[in-house]
Structure 1
Amino acid sequence: MVSGLRSLLANLATSLLVITLLVEASQIKSAGHAGGAAACGELASKFPSLLFLPNTTTYTYQSHLPWSETCLLSPTCVFLPQNAARIAAALPIIRKARSPFAVISVLISMNQMTQLKFANYSSTFAQVEPGNTWKQVYDWLEPSGLAVNGGRYAQVGVGGLLLGGGIGYFSSKMGWGANSVVQYEVMLANSSVVLVNCTSHPDLFWALKGGSNNFGIVTRYDLTTLEIGDAFSNVMIWSSEATTQWFDALNAYLAPGGGVEDVNAAIMPIVALTPADGTYEVIKTQVGSWTFLAEALDIPAYAARDERQLFWAISSLPDPRAISIANHTVFDRALVDLRNVTGCSITLNYQPISKAWLEASKALGGDAINLDPHDGPFIAGLIASTWTNEDDDETVYECSRNAADSIRRQTEALGLHHPFIFSTMQPRDNSPLLHMVVERV
């Protein structure tokens, strides 16, 4: 297994798919514009109805699909394939022009690849293309009384969540969202399409489960489904007057014998602050009807795309002292550092990762996240900020970084820090993926 992974990494290191990890940003920028123009020109000639240039409505829409205004792209062109065959035909053109894709030159958007069907080889597996949101998947499965362990927010895309691992409503029973994938359809840099599963390309199968999008273009996910009936679901918000009782309830939920040990329950505890006026709320969501909650969170308050956003992950053990440290550190700092940031709000999410969650992950074959069940339970904390003006980017970034560093130092001193870093919830200068690969090799 070790030699196989080394071979996989060696092959990938020479491919276009990971060129962005190996080339200096300045080199990409200088070579990318020229190569991008050449690639876009040839793609426009071969696929005139699928290629879009700046100042077109489709170009603007596709390049503005990312979840935050801080992630907006300015590619030379947008290529909008409707199936894997079109991507396979486009890759040689992009490769010949030496144009990095999905960086600054050619944006390949799979937004139109939205096929949903049950697998011919087993009706218990749902075959999902990457252009779907989880709402589309859930709406398709609900009439059959089925669910999958997908995203908790309806507007989240399928591919990004599954390649990053994925937190779902059923994770204490089914592990990370990626653990529900039984097979990937993957396009490699040479345009070949391979089916990747536990027996075919097993190293690549492992790497795709939480290893992000560095190993190929995934054009289909085959997911395990589960039967689901009625359940309780609700979103509850309290004002700051209930803070003490709210944290008492959270600590009780996380304590041995508490709700965290119930594999049929899930919770998303969040504390929210508006630094400009000091408005402070505590939010708890309990999972029930899986479609209801996903749709309830699909509103601008939770799913705005017209704001600037930043996520910063910091983990700890589920100890009341660690929870108190995180809460005071983030919000005491935010009240000072972010008070004059226009349109700013900041939240701290205390996501429990249970021992049963990690046991389910191992039982389903493991993944690139590679956590031992003895690592649980712990809290995968998340500092999430939204704001309006680009001029405030560095202020928000520095506040989040300093808060996370402070929490880490304080919890380490008490033996309460947990080293887990969720790769999809990290800013530009933290990269847990390298540590995953090194540890595996």
Structure 2
Amino acid sequence: MAAIVAAIVNNASHLEQEQVVQIETLLSRFDRLSPAEQSQERVSYVSAAFPLVFGPDAVVHGSDGYEPQRQVPWSANCWLQPRVIVRLASAQQVAVALALCRFFHVQFSIRGGGHLQIPGFTSNQDGVVISLSAFDQVRLSEDQSTADIGVGLRWLEVYRQLDEHGVAVAGGRVPSVGVPGLLLGGGISFQNSQYGVGAMAISNYEVVLADSQIINANAHENPDLFWALKGGGSNFGIVTKIEMNTIPNQIWTEVRIYPLSAAAQLRAALMQYHDAIETDNKASLIYNATNDIILVVYFYCAPIENPPIFQSFCDIPYLTSFVPPGIRTVYDLVQAVASVNEAEPSVHEFRTMSSRPNIEVYEAIERAHTEQAEALKDVEGIALTTVIQPMSSLAMQQTHKNGGSPLGLEPVGQQWFLARADWTHIRDEERVRSAVRKIVDAAEEAAKRTGVYLPYKYSNYAARDQDPLASYGEENVRRLKEVAQKYDPEGVFQELQNGGWLLSKVGSTLER
């Protein structure tokens, strides 16, 4: 117990002596209880300890301010009932919160932007949520070559602040996605072919370890942890600072909306585009098919009007330019997307697979999408979307540079597929999840039949019963487990962390 008290005192300089005495008394009382009594009394002690240490930054179940914090996660099925939600603003505070969770042996969840759609990943029942939302800084280095990006921010705000200085970073593409969740899963950016996945643009992580040590992980300090964090998730510590290399923010972009009748022409153009990006590292494209329309985002990482790499799409009739063609900044584009994002909370489901580019796979996706949209048409608020994300071999090669990442990506051109559902009521969850599974099953079957299947599963697109870390390959999983054992020898992040893609669950039968 003395070590826990020392960690609190050392990292919580704001505490008065009287508060320290109260904390010591509370912890001593709990420490003297029998294991059975501790199990019975744990919740009440946790409810008392966190407000004592963190004051109004710790909200307890039932108190004023609790509900708005409870309902932060993007998907309504993730609005669980934690006992305490504590909003922290420094690595030192995170170290104290982690020390308390260890002492009380209470489940905890780490919440950045809260965009993951899987229940239990960013909240829990009767445990502690460590919210990083107060980490809201964007600080440029003196030469503007790197930016300290707050792990409580969402990407729209990151780009807004960087835009004022004429720079950007290779971060997320969806306005409401949080910074740490995206990057700890590797992270798709608009600039994949130039720089690799988003995590490859990180120059330094600040990490609070399970024993409340605060360390840096970069190419020179703790390089094994630096490697592991580029896709290894929350298995090693709580990341409290991310420093990223900055890039130019002047780009060309257009977003077109097509009728569903254009699908065959768009697939043919997409196959030509897959070939074209093998020799041009500045292009990015996202293909989104909904129940009613097809939306294609065209993005070029340079201020060049109408880049010829998108020529194969030019003559396909479209309904409108949602974002007109033009030279703008990354922030301008992401802000335009934010202006039409759904305002009402709803329930969400993702599922993923990957393959080499293949027209038969794309046709199988469309057929399955049409069938399942019909099967779910009575579900209130249902929007079923299939997303094809082309990834060049250049992107894979960039992800292998400078020490690489644990993702295990094959150095070939490929596509990362997402089947996504959004709807209104949690009561329809099983039906919707089954439909999404059928779409991905159809894509995987076509990929395996045609010999283009790839095992990789992007963790930020994965469903709760998928096993993305296992898709990194046996050798990378082995290395990740070695890093976790080195920095968290007692397995705190495997045992007490409530959810997430945990190494302790790799290869196990996950919930369906």
For the superposition of Structure 1 and Structure 2, which TM-score range results when normalised by the shorter chain?
0.7 to 0.9
In the alignment, what sits opposite 2:284?
A: 266
Cα distance in structure 1, aligned partners of 2:383 and 2:82: 30
In the alignment, what sits opposite 1:14?
A: none
The alignment status of 1:235 with 2:255, answered yes or no, reads yes
**5+ residue gaps, structure 2:** 1-36, 110-123, 301-328, 479-512
Matched AA of 1:327 = E
Which residue pairs with 2:268 in the alignment?
248
Query: Bigger CA drift: 400-409 or 418-427?
Result: 400-409
Counterpart secondary structure, 1:311: strand
Paired position in structure 2 for 1:388: 424
How many angstroms does 1:295 deviate by? 1.1
Instruction: Summarize the Cα distance change of 1:79–1:200 in structure 2 as closer, same or farther, 3 Å threshold.
Output: same
Q: Alpha-carbon deviation of 1:306?
A: 0.2
Q: Output the aligned Cα RMSD.
A: 2.1
State the match for 1:132 in structure 2: 153
State the partner residue of 2:374. Answer: 335
Match of 1:115 in 2: 137
Task: Tell me the amino acid that sits aligned with residue 48 of structure 1.
Answer: G
Between the aligned partners of 2:472 and 2:44, the Cα distance in structure 1 is: 35
2:94 pairs with 1:82: no
- Unpaired runs of 5+ residues, structure 1, are 1-29, 274-279
C-alpha distance in 2, partners of 1:31/1:353? 51
Quote the offset at 1:163 in angstroms: 0.5
Instruction: Give CA deviations for 1:111-130 in whole Å, capped at 9, x if unaligned.
Output: 0111221247x641111120
Please report how far the alpha carbon of residue 49 of structure 1 lies from its aligned counterpart in structure 2 after TM superposition.
1.7
**Same amino acid, percent of matched pairs:** 29
Q: Name the residue aligned to 1:292.
A: 332
Aligned to 1:344: 382
Q: Which of residues 85, 97, 105 is equivalent to 2:104?
A: 97
Q: Which amino acid is 1:249 matched to?
A: A
Distance change (3 Å), C-alpha of 1:271 and 1:64: same
Corresponding residue for residue 196 of structure 2: 175
The residue number in structure 2 matching 1:68 is 75
Deviations 1:248-275 (A, max 9, x none): 3222212x2x2464211111111111xx
CA pair 335-408 structure 1, distance change in 2 beyond 3 A: same
TM-score scaled by length of structure 1: 0.85
Say whether residues 1:58 and 2:65 are aligned partners.
yes
Relative distance call for 1:303 and 1:314 in structure 2 (3 A) is farther
Aligned equivalents of 1:33 and 1:216: distance in 2?
Answer: 28
Q: 1:57 to 1:294 in 2, by over 3 A?
A: farther
Instruction: State the alpha-carbon separation in 2 of the partners of residues 109 and 305 from structure 1.
Output: 22
> 1:192-251 deviations in whole A, cap 9, x for unaligned?
10011122222211111011112110000010111233x322221112232232223222
User: Equivalent residue of 1:287, what SS?
Assistant: strand
Change (3 A) 1:58 1:381: same
Aligned 8 A contact 1:179 1:365 in 2:
no
8 Å Cα contact 2:408/2:471 also seen in 1: no
Please give the alpha-carbon distance, in whole angstroms, between the structure 1 residues aligned to 2:146 and 2:158.
13
Q: Do 1:311 and 1:382's aligned partners in 2 also have CA atoms closer than 8 Å? A: yes
Residues of 2 paired with 1:136 and 1:366: CA distance? 28
Contact conserved, 2:278 with 2:394, CA < 8 A, in 1?
Answer: no
Secondary structure, counterpart of 2:134 in structure 1: coil
TM-score computed with the length of structure 2 as normaliser: 0.74
Kept in 2, the 8 Å contact 1:313–1:422? The answer is: yes
Q: Give distance in 2, aligned partners of 1:127 and 1:35.
A: 37
Work out the CA distance in 2 between the residues paired with 1:31 and 1:266: 54
User: Which amino acid in structure 2 is aligned with residue 377 of structure 1?
Assistant: G
Q: Report what 1:412 is aligned to.
A: 448
* Distance apart, 1:400 and its partner CA: 1.2
Aligned to 1:397: 433
Contact 2:167 2:247 in 1 (8 A): yes
Aligned to 1:15: none
Contact 1:287 1:293 in 2 (8 A): no
- Of the three residues 228, 241, 244, the one matched with 1:220 is 241
Contact 1:134 1:151 in 2 (8 A): yes
1:43 alignment partner in structure 2: 50
Q: How many residues align?
A: 398
- Once residues 354 and 169 of structure 2 are traced to their aligned partners in structure 1, the CA distance between those partners, rounded to angstroms, is 26
